[in-house]
Amino acid sequence: MNEEALQSIRKRVFELTVSSATSSDLDVLLERLFVILRDYHDLPLEPRGAMVLLNPRGRYFQVAQFGMEPLWKSQLRWDFGVFASAVIAPGCLVETVSFHPGVGDEQALQQRLFLLPLCIDGQGIGYTTMFVPLDYQSSPSHLDFMNELAYVLSSLIHRALTNETLRIRELELEEARADAIRNLGVASEYRDNETGWHIMRMTNFAQAIAKAMGLPADQRELLYVAAPMHDVGKIGIADAVLLKPGKLTDDEFEIMKTHTNIGVSILMGNDALIAAARDIAGSHHERWDGTGYPQGLAGEQIPILARICSVADVFDALTSKRPYKKAWTVEDAAAWIISESGKHFDPAIVDAFKLAMPEILRVRELYRDDIIDPKHVLMLPPVEPRENAWAPWNESLSVGIDVIDEHHRYLFDLINDLYEVVSNKLGAREVARLVKALDAYAKVHFRAEELMMTHYGYEGLNRQEHQHHAFEAKICEFYEELHANPLVAQFDVLTYLRDWLVKHILIEDAQLRSLVTA
């Protein structure tokens, strides 16, 4: 190839450095790179390659590819030996190396490839691999070009890591603010509900209803953060009224009703999150027919998030035991809400409530106030198997305790949600959000399991507690790694979660069956 043509290729490669670079862009950038290199006629590259990065434990993960299966489908193993056994040439590597197609498969594949070191601040973090024919012989001009290309790709990886880390930082700032708001709601709830699970149930009931209504994702996210604030105004209600075990007098009820206005006064501000929380706190006791309080709003005058929370809040209040009342059955509570369609509640939201009932019943079991009874049989609608689930649930994973099995199914759902985020390359921000959600629910599950084991005198309690704490520490470690190398950590955590949970259920939790027969 003449020098002018080669300079043109170099210029086009350099132009890649001005491209945006996030985890979702790397596949596209590799594709563009191979299109450019197709014009380098003297260099017989095969139309396939990958970016492979190293995690802190010495394992390589394929984070981007062109003409190859992605990590979660590929049987190709990027073992350390592949790179350690290659012969170092100036700046890049060219050698025949052996791959094993999959774990336990002894058949080796002979491949010849360029290994372009990816470096940040002089530290190697992985390689870009480009395959060539087995009979390929390198030339000095090819090696010089590959050295230049290694610098370009290192720059792109550096930018991708920086951009993804910034997105995680943005999420953390948003989450810190949302957590402060949620915690204020939880603090108000603890004044008259010693478990605090009412808020979790009510919030997730509201989410299920909103989803059944087809509410946009951004509105559902606002709802999830703002719903816990529905009763924040109870902070200003005197204990003599708030904690009274019997029926309130008319005067006491008028005092209780002021919690809506107190909530509005607490939640002053103009941004969308505070405004949504204020709407919910101020209007969740309004009624569709206009006979509610504090303003007597009717119909669509009532903010939609408040209308949703009204149904969710009343359903949980009816089905929960309180010092002054017994819990209603689910059937009676649902029938009453349906009977109030068009009077107390928005008919469209009542229709969505009926559609969401399977998920609502599931949430009740995930956030229980009482200690799990190993012999309790759940009467839940059958759950449709998730199509093409990366971590499929099957009956071999059942431990014979219905509530625990339901907890485990939910954890599998979260892992499959995480897989979809990673496989669709939606970015480290979404990965971080789901890892936090999974960690939060794992803690709920572990504490409920430990309470059950303590109550029934289970001999393996200490071992289970040790494993639970080790899991929580590992998730914390992965979350920290998302800051250091978000491209690798998201693949790493995905594999760990599935493998740990399946092993823990089959080996440790399977022994909980003894509580059923005791």
Question: How far apart, in Å, are the Cα atoms of 87 and each of 81, 82, 129, 409?
Answer: 12, 10, 14, 48
Instruction: Give this prediction's pTM.
Output: 0.82
Tell me the residue length of the chain. Answer: 518
Written as tens digits, the pLDDT of the chain (518 aa) is 678 888 888 888 888 777 666 666 888 889 999 999 999 988 899 999 999 998 888 888 899 999 998 887 877 777 766 665 544 444 454 555 555 555 444 555 677 788 888 989 888 888 998 988 888 887 888 888 888 899 889 988 988 888 888 888 888 888 787 777 777 776 666 655 544 688 889 999 999 999 999 999 899 989 998 998 898 898 888 888 888 888 889 999 999 999 999 999 988 888 888 999 999 999 999 999 999 999 999 999 999 999 999 999 999 999 988 777 789 999 999 999 999 999 999 999 999 999 999 999 999 988 988 899 999 998 887 777 788 888 999 889 999 999 999 999 999 999 999 999 988 888 888 898 899 889 989 999 999 999 999 999 999 999 999 999 999 999 999 888 888 888 888 888 888 998 999 999 999 999 999 998 86
Residue 38 · residue 31 · CB < 8 Å: no
**Residue ranges of the chain assigned to CATH 1.20.120.50:** 393-518
For strand 49-54 and strand 123-132, is the pairing parallel, antiparallel, or unpaired? antiparallel
User: Hey, what CATH class is 393-518 in?
Assistant: mainly alpha
- The conformational region for residue 260 under phi > 0 = left, psi -120 to 50 = alpha, else beta, is alpha
Q: Please calculate the CA angle 91-95-100 and round it to the nearest 5 degrees.
A: 120
Place of tokens 């229709």: 351
CB 116 within 8 A of CB 153: yes
- Listed in order, strand segments (DSSP E) in 38-103 are 49-54, 60-66, 93-99
- Cβ–Cβ < 8 Å for 386, 416: yes
Q: Classify domain 3-162 at the CATH topology level.
A: Beta-Lactamase (3.30.450)
Residue 224 half-sphere exposure toward CB, CA atoms < 13 A = 15
Q: In the chain, which residues fall in CATH 1.10.3210.10?
A: 196-368
- The position carrying tokens 């949504």 is 276
**Residue 36 carries which side chain, given as an amino acid letter?**
I
Q: Tens of pLDDT along 295-342?
A: 999 999 999 999 999 999 999 999 988 777 789 999 999 999 999 999
pLDDT confidence of residue 191: 59
Quick check: bond before 294 cis, omega within 30? yes
Query: Looking at domain 196-368, what is its CATH homologous superfamily?
Result: Hypothetical protein af1432 (1.10.3210.10)
Q: Name the segment(s) of the chain with CATH classification 3.30.450.40.
A: 3-162
Rounded to 10 deg, the angle between the 197-213 and 357-366 helix axes is 160
